[in-house]
Amino acid sequence: MRWTGRQVTVLGAGVSGLAACQFLIRQGARVFLSDAKTLDVGVRTKLQDFGVAFEEGGHTDLTLRCDAMVVSPGIPPFRFPVAKARRIEITVYTEVELGIEEIRGPIIAVTGTNGKSTVATLIHHLLPFSHLVGNIGQPLSTYPHREGIFVMELSSFQLAYLRRFRPRIAILLNLAPDHLDWHRSVEAYYQAKLRIFQDQTPEDEAILNADDPTVVSYADGIPSKTFWFSTQRAVHPGIYLENHHIHIEDVRGHLQVPFPRTPATDFYQEDLLPAILAAYHMGEPMDAIVEQLKTFHGLPHRLEYVLEYKGVLFINDSKATNPHATRFALKKMDAPVVLILGGDTKGVDLSELREAVHEKVRALIAIGENRSKIAEDFGDLVDVQTADSMREAVQKAFRIARPGDIVLLSPACASFDWFQNYKDRGRQFRDATRDLVSGRF
C-alpha cells in the first residue's frame, strides 16, 4: 500500500481531517495532526484512540517533518505551513483525493458559487442507490461502500488543491465573485472552479449554465462533451424549460415531459435542470425521475419556509453566504421584503446588491461585524436599521413588516463573526421567529 510506513501531517481536526487520520492509519501510515485552535475533549480522545500524535493552538515546524501533507480545504495555500511545504516539495493532498483512490464507480461532481448543496442533494434523490459524499455527505475516505455512483459537492477550496480528478459528469452551476480572501483574485477563484473539468476527456460530460454569461465565456476551454441547461431559452444539446415542460435534446433525440409542479419544484427550477440531466445521462428512466421530483422538499437554510405569522412570511436563507446567493433569493420573492443582511464579507463588495435591494426590499436590518457599513452603503435606498443579535433583528424586522411582506434572512456574508456557522445562524433565526410567535420576546 502506498501509505505504509510514510509519515503524514494532517492539518485541521474538522470532519475531513479526522476522516483523513482514520484513513491513513488504516493504510499503515504514521500520522501527526496539527490544528490552529484548541481542540475539545472529544476530538482529543478520538485522536488518542486512533493513535495519532497531535499539536493544538497553532501550527509549528513539526508539521513539516513528513513525507506528505493532507490539508483542510479551509487553509489557504499561501499560509504556513502549506506554503512552506510546497516550497520544500512536500506533496499536499486533501481528504477528497485520499478517498478517490478507494472508490470504484463513476463520480458526478457539482460546483459553482451557489446551489451546489441543493443540486448534489437533488441528484442523490433522483438516483436512490447513489452515494452522497463530500461537503454535504459523508467524507469520501470513510465511505463504507466502494462501488456505485458517487455524487460529490466540491468547493473552490477543494478543487484548488486537487491534483488528479476525473469525474464522469462535472456540473458548473454559476460563477460570481466569492472567497476572495482565500483565492486573492476573482480569476483565481474562477480557475479553481474550472479545475473540475481539467482532467476530463471527450468521453466525459460537462453540464453548464447557459443563462450565466461568465460560465458561457469559459466553455471553449472544456475538454469534455458539453451540455447546457437553461430556464430562459431552448438549448442544444442539453435541457431547458418551455411551456411548463422539460425538454432534453441530445444524441438520442428530443424528449419532452410535463414539469412536475410542486411548491419545491417551482422554487428550485434552476437547480432541477442540471440534476435531471445528470440522472438521465446516468441511465435513470425519465418517468422515475419525474416521480422522484414530486417527493423533493428542498434543503434546510436554503430558502427554507419557517412560518407565517399575522400575514408575514419568514424565510431562512442562511446558506446565502455571498451577494450572488442573496440576489438569487431576492429574485425569487414575489412580495415586499424586509431583508436581514450582514456578517463577514470575505472581501466581497456588497454594493452589487443595490439594484436588487432597490427593486425588492422594503427595509433592511443590518447584522454582523459590517452592520454599520451596510447602513452607510444602503441607507440612501431603503430604511436601514442595525441589530446587535439575531433576536433583535427578527424583532425589528417584524415591527417594520406589513401583512403580505416577507422577512428574509439572506445575509450575503459568512457567519463566523457572530455564529458558529451558517447552520447556527439559521437555527437562531428559526428560534427567534418561533419565540416571537409564542410571545417569549
Report the percentage of the chain scoring pLDDT > 90: 80
On the question of pLDDT at 145 being above 70, the answer is no
pTM: 0.82
CA dihedral over 275, 348, 370, 355, signed as positive or negative:
negative
The whole-number average pLDDT for the span 274-298 is 95
Cα distance between residue 364 and residue 96, in whole Å: 40
- Looking at residue 303, its pLDDT comes to 86
Name 49's bridge partners: none
Domain of residue 19, residue span: 7-93
For residue 15, give the CATH number of its domain: 3.40.50.720
Last residue of a domain, one of 61, 93, 125: 93
Gyration radius of the chain over CA positions: 23
Q: How far is CA 125 from CA 187, 217, 283, in A?
A: 33, 31, 14
When pLDDT is cut at 50, 70 and 90, the band that residue 101 belongs to is confident
300 or 407: which leads in pLDDT: 407
Residues 380 and 415 in one domain: yes
Q: What SS3 state is found at 185?
A: coil
Residue 394 domain-assigned (yes or no): yes
Nearest by Cα to 103 from 134, 125, 78? 134
Residues 248 and 373 in one domain: no
Residue 298 domain-assigned (yes or no): no
How remote is the C-alpha of 152 from its chain's centroid? 11
Residue 419 domain-assigned (yes or no): yes
- Looking at residue 73, its pLDDT comes to 85
- Give DSSP secondary structure letters for 345-371: -TT--GGGGHHHHHHHEEEEEE-STTH
Total domains in the chain come to 3
CA dihedral over 188, 191, 196, 200, signed as positive or negative:
negative
pLDDT in tens, 9-68: 999 999 999 999 999 999 999 999 999 999 999 999 999 999 999 999 999 999 999 999
- Looking at residue 347, its pLDDT comes to 81
CB 91 within 8 A of CB 70: no
- Looking at residue 283, its pLDDT comes to 95
pLDDT in tens, 371-393: 999 999 999 999 999 999 999 99
- Looking at residue 144, its pLDDT comes to 61
- Looking at residue 179, its pLDDT comes to 82
pLDDT in tens, 420-431: 999 999 999 999
Residues 164 and 309 in one domain: no
Last residue of a domain, one of 241, 265, 293: 293
pLDDT in tens, 303-358: 888 888 999 999 999 999 989 889 989 988 989 999 999 999 888 889 989 999 99
Residues 122 and 183 in one domain: yes
Residues 267 and 128 in one domain: yes
Residues 108 and 231 in one domain: yes
Residue 308 domain-assigned (yes or no): yes
Residue 2 domain-assigned (yes or no): no
CB 125 within 8 A of CB 131: no
State the virtual CA torsion across 278, 281, 283, 287 in degrees, nearest 10: 70
When the pLDDT of each residue in the chain is averaged and rounded to a whole number, the result is: 93
221 or 364: which leads in pLDDT: 364
pLDDT in tens, 161-211: 998 899 999 999 999 888 878 888 999 999 999 999 999 999 999 999 999
Residue 299 domain-assigned (yes or no): no
Residues 171 and 268 in one domain: yes
Residues 80 and 106 in one domain: no
- Looking at residue 197, its pLDDT comes to 97
- Looking at residue 441, its pLDDT comes to 65
Cα distance between residue 378 and residue 363, in whole Å: 10
Q: Give me the amino acid identity at 218.
A: Y
For residue 209, give the CATH number of its domain: 3.40.1190.10
Nearest by Cα to 19 from 7, 5, 33? 33
Cβ-based neighbour number of residue 286 at 10 Å? 15
The residue assigned the cell 459590517 is 370
On the question of pLDDT at 1 being above 60, the answer is no
Residues 264 and 321 in one domain: no
Cβ-based neighbour number of residue 242 at 10 Å? 14
Burial class from Cβ neighbours inside 10 Å (0-12, 13-18, 19+) for residue 185 reads exposed
Which residues are CB-contacts of 55 (< 8 A; sequence separation ≥ 6)? 32, 33, 34, 35, 62, 63
Residues 246 and 106 in one domain: yes
Percent helix, strand and coil across the chain, each rounded to 5? 35, 25, 40
Name 110's bridge partners: 153, 171
Name 272's bridge partners: none
Residues 257 and 365 in one domain: no
- Looking at residue 138, its pLDDT comes to 85
Burial class from Cβ neighbours inside 10 Å (0-12, 13-18, 19+) for residue 263 reads exposed
Strands (E), 319-419: 337-341, 361-366, 383-386, 406-409
Residue 180 domain-assigned (yes or no): yes
Residues 282 and 337 in one domain: no
Q: How would you write 128-161 as a 3-class SS string?
A: CCCEEEECCCECHHHCCCCECCEEEECCHHHHHH
Last residue of a domain, one of 75, 93, 111: 93
